[in-house]
């Protein structure tokens, strides 16, 4: 007598369900990581655009019209971001000088209100010599 069984045993079905559930959890974790990376990338992009905009704004000022150094001030158009400005007189060897010179070192930093994201910044020299 031949016994003919068709279909799957209960153990086989449970194993398949566990494997599918495990792979689904891995997929959801990958989606979560992708979303985190997207948000970080967007914040860094906005910081870069704001930094470039502020640098261009400062370069349009005259040498004597540069603002004073200050701590972090929020951007009016992007309140989640703020900038810090440090203006220092430097000599012709680009060393910080306590007295007025023909060169000013501008250090600009942009940060997000959430401290998990890094501060980005740039430095440049503005001269009084034509």
Question: Whole-angstrom Cα distance, residue 81 to residue 70?
Answer: 15
3 state SS of 76 = coil
Name the pLDDT band for 92 (thresholds 50, 70, 90): confident
Q: How many domains does the chain have?
A: 1
Calculated CA dihedral for residues 63, 67, 73, 77, nearest 10 degrees? -60
Would the pLDDT of 80 be above 90? yes
Question: Whole-angstrom Cα distance, residue 60 to residue 8?
Answer: 76
Question: Is 5 a domain residue?
Answer: no
Would the pLDDT of 15 be above 80? yes
What average pLDDT does this structure show over 91-119? Answer: 91
Enclosing H/E stretch for 60: helix 10-60
Would the pLDDT of 124 be above 90? yes
Question: Is 3 a domain residue?
Answer: no
Question: Is 4 a domain residue?
Answer: no
Question: Is 40 a domain residue?
Answer: yes
* Choice between 123 and 2, residue whose per-residue pLDDT is larger: 123
What average pLDDT does this structure show over 90-109? Answer: 89
Residue 61 is given by DSSP the state S
108 near 98, Cβ under 8 Å? no
Question: Is 62 a domain residue?
Answer: yes
Question: Is 2 a domain residue?
Answer: no
What average pLDDT does this structure show over 105-118? Answer: 94
Question: Is 86 a domain residue?
Answer: yes
Percent of residues, the chain, with pLDDT higher than 70:
95
Question: Is 99 a domain residue?
Answer: yes
- Beta bridge partners of residue 109, listed in sequence order: 84, 121
Name the pLDDT band for 130 (thresholds 50, 70, 90): low
pTM score: 0.77
Residue range of the domain that includes 122: 10-127
Neighbours of 95 (CB within 10 A): 10
Would the pLDDT of 100 be above 80? yes
């Amino acid at each position: 007598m031949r016994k003919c069984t068709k279909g799957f045993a209960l153990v086989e079905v449970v194993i398949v369900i566990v494997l599918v559930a495990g792979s689904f959890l891995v997929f959801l974790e990958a989606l979560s990581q992708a979303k985190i990376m997207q948000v970080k990338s967007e914040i860094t992009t906005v910081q870069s655009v704001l930094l470039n905009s502020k640098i261009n704004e400062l370069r349009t000022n005259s040498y004597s019209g540069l603002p004073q150094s200050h701590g972090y001030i929020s951007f009016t158009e992007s309140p989640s971001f703020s900038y810090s400005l440090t203006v220092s007189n430097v000599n012709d060897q680009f060393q910080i000088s306590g007295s007025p010179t023909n060169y000013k070192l501008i250090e600009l930093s942009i940060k997000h209100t959430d401290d998990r994201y890094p501060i980005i910044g740039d430095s440049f020299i503005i001269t009084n010599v034509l």
